[in-house]
Amino acid sequence: VVSTQSTGSSGINAEYGERNKGRTMEELEVQSILQQQAADRAKKFQMERHSELEADKRSAQMVKEEEDEFQRYADAVIETAKERGRPVGPLIKAKNAGAGGGNGPIFEGKSNLRPSYQANDAYGNQLPRFANGAAKRVNELSSTSKRLGFVW
């Protein structure tokens, strides 16, 4: 009777061993598929990033060429205005390098944008002005010279 039970239990263990071996093979296949997908995603991300950087380089080159062309044109217009005795101050101000029309620093990484304020960050994003009509009326009604700008 004992030998029959031991044979039956070894048959069950053999069956579980075969199942576990099949599961292990399936798990290894799934793991290799997931690793391949992760590698494909990383490669796709690198390729997209590389293409974005190339597009940025081309865009920066085009902006530089346009700026050079504008500077040449502006020089010609200023010379013509000088010859005709016209005021050239506004033309010289418009000729200043950098888009944006401001007096702030030129941000090299952002298409030579010249914001109209000094930014605290390296991105050069201009913050909106929130001076509306109500704020202007409060400033007009208050005597700021006496209160140093405080309105109670």
How would residue 37 be classed by pLDDT, with cut points 50, 70 and 90?
A: very high
Indicate the burial class of 124 (C-beta count within 10 angstroms; 0-12, 13-18, 19 or more): buried
Q: What are the strands, taking DSSP E only, across the chain?
A: none
Could you tell me what percent of the chain has a pLDDT over 90?
29
Phi, psi dihedral angles at 151 (to 5 degrees):
-120, 115
Model pTM greater than 0.95? no
Mean pLDDT taken over the chain: 75
- If DSSP states are collapsed to H, E and C, what string results for 111-123? CCECCCCCCCCCC
Report yes or no: 92 and 81 within 8 Å, Cβ to Cβ.
Answer: no
